[in-house]
Amino acid sequence: MATGLRYRIFSVTGCAGFTAFAVWFANLQFVQRAFSQVPYFGRPAPVVLANGDLGFAITTTVLVMLGAMWPVFKPQPRRILDTLLLTQKRVFLSMVGLAALGYFNYSYRLPRSTLIIATVMLLLWLPAWTAAIRQRPTTRSRAIIVGDDPTAMEAILESTDLPILGYVSPPPSYEVSRRMSMGAPEISDGGAIETELDQLSCLGGLSRLDEVFIKHNIDTALLAFSNADRAEFFGALDACYDHGVTAVAHRGHADNVLTTGFAGSDLVEVDLEPWDWQDYVAKRAFDITFAAIGLFVLSPAVVAISVAVKIDSPGPVLYSQQRTAEFGDTFTVYKFRSMIPEAEAETGAKLSEEDDGDYDPRVTRTGRLLRQTHLDEIPQLWSILIGDMSVVGPRPERPELDSDMESGTDKWRSRWFVKPGLTGLAQINEATGYNPEEKLRYDMEYIRRQSFWFDLKIVIRQIWIVLSDVTKTATGADEEQ
């Protein structure tokens, strides 16, 4: 894995070299002739640039590409999948820039055939190149301990044979609490016996964990927290996920996290990305397609619902809430308003009685209809489109309600290992927050069985449920019962 200045040199020179070769190769006469035979492009006449024009085109293209790819050149640890996607986005951006440059400046007009061929080549080569020079080493050599429990930090240090660079812990009272909790004995000169942990450097507090990962090029983090169900623990997991760092926890925390294998006699690796990368790509492509088609097809319904909500009661058409995302992060979710304005002004955040089959007086007439037909969820298609949610996954809850549900079941935060979804295994089995243990059981089963095809089965089942509910509402079947 190339790092620091070496990575910058590799990435810049590789980008410039691949770009220059792609433009030169795309300009070859036999390539242009072959491209002219592609029916989709209307059999354009081959266009071959002269040497002088070709040199100018190569120079301009390389400069534009280097400018667009600048964020990729930053030596920041990333997951390989993130590296591939970021590089592809930047290639598209640079090619759009080149097309616009050619449109406004006729002296530089890269032939369309050359631009298309070069784009295809760079979309294949550059992501592979940036991923290759960022590839993680086969043997871990830069590890740190991250935690808030001095005893656990000492124990995990004794359980690993990895070379430890230092530790990250809450400052500054950590040293005092560490010695008090360990009961470090005094020695004759008034000092204390030095432990193995004392020989390591403190690299900073938990708030600087991202900075420590980047500065020291860390590839493994050994987590030593007193509790594996607290925000600090999942915050460390979130940082590991963002930077492609392997997270290792003590075997005693295995019930609170997803594990992928043993890292030592008492240590296990945390499976931060339970999706196989092919399934991840297929899932994201499906999310985008589903959300885009859904928003387009339901656009007339969006207009009608907006008018109905506005007429039924005063207040905004949409309402927003903070919901819990992966690793305890939060995001804003939007829904059509189905309750009276300021519905929670007196009661605060709480589950709707309708989730338990009762009547909720806060729900408006239009809102009740929207809930029965699930049409109040349409705005969440936008959250799926921008990547905050997925079509299938554990249903996101409000942070306040998450706290209440945690008290009703152990390991509630284990469902935070995947992106929240519009529907899920718990939803199609009618498990709600009124029974958090049942809901958690379905969510964990989904995480263990998840795959693209399993998602499709859940979506088909959910669509059938929605259509059935719409039919019942339209025919008045619910009222008859």
The full set of domain ranges for the chain reads 4-133, 143-183+194-270, 277-480
Q: Residue 389 CB: number of other CB atoms within 10 A?
A: 25
Helix (H) or strand (E) holding 221: strand 220-224
List Cβ neighbours of 139 (8 Å cut-off, separation of 6 or more). Answer: none
pLDDT in tens, the chain (481 residues): 445 567 778 888 999 999 999 989 988 888 877 776 665 555 555 566 666 678 888 888 888 888 888 878 876 656 666 677 788 888 888 888 887 776 665 555 677 788 888 888 998 888 888 888 875 544 456 888 898 878 778 877 877 778 888 888 876 444 445 444 444 444 444 444 456 677 788 888 888 888 888 888 788 888 888 765 566 777 788 788 777 788 887 766 655 566 555 555 567 767 666 565 666 778 888 899 999 999 999 999 999 999 998 888 888 888 888 887 776 678 888 888 888 776 565 555 555 555 555 566 778 888 888 888 888 889 999 989 888 889 998 888 777 666 665 555 555 556 666 788 899 888 888 887 667 778 778 887 887 777 788 888 999 999 998 888 888 877 765 544 4
The per-residue pLDDT for 266 is 66
CA gap 388, 360 in Å, rounded: 29
The per-residue pLDDT for 290 is 92
The per-residue pLDDT for 391 is 92
**CATH label, 143-183+194-270, candidates 3.30.450, 2.40.10, 3.40.50, 1.10.3470:** 3.40.50
The per-residue pLDDT for 283 is 83
β-strand partners of 220: 143, 246
Can you list the pairs that 67-72 forms with residues at least 24 positions away whose Cβ atoms lie under 8 Å?
67/94, 68/93, 68/94, 68/97, 69/11, 69/15, 69/94, 69/126, 72/11, 72/15, 72/130
Asked if residue 406 lies in contact with residue 324, where contact means CB atoms within 8 angstroms, the answer is no
Q: Is the peptide bond before 300 cis (omega within 30 degrees of 0)?
A: no
The per-residue pLDDT for 93 is 84
Asked if residue 274 lies in contact with residue 447, where contact means CB atoms within 8 angstroms, the answer is yes
List Cβ neighbours of 245 (8 Å cut-off, separation of 6 or more). Answer: 77, 213, 218, 219, 220, 221, 239
The per-residue pLDDT for 291 is 92
The per-residue pLDDT for 185 is 45
The per-residue pLDDT for 179 is 47
The per-residue pLDDT for 99 is 78
Quick one: DSSP state of residue 28? S
Q: What are the φ/ψ torsions at residue 110 (nearest 5 degrees)?
A: -65, 125
Quick one: DSSP state of residue 186? B
Query: Which SS3 state, helix, strand or coil, does residue 337 take?
Result: coil
At how many degrees (to 10) do helices 231-243 and 209-216 cross?
Answer: 30
Pairing between strand 164-168 and 143-147?
Answer: parallel
Residue where the block lists tokens 């360990």 = 182
Query: How far does Cα 66 stand from its chain's mean position?
Result: 27
Residue 231's identity, in one-letter code, is A
Q: How many residues does the structure list for the chain?
A: 481
The per-residue pLDDT for 407 is 56
The per-residue pLDDT for 17 is 92
The per-residue pLDDT for 437 is 76
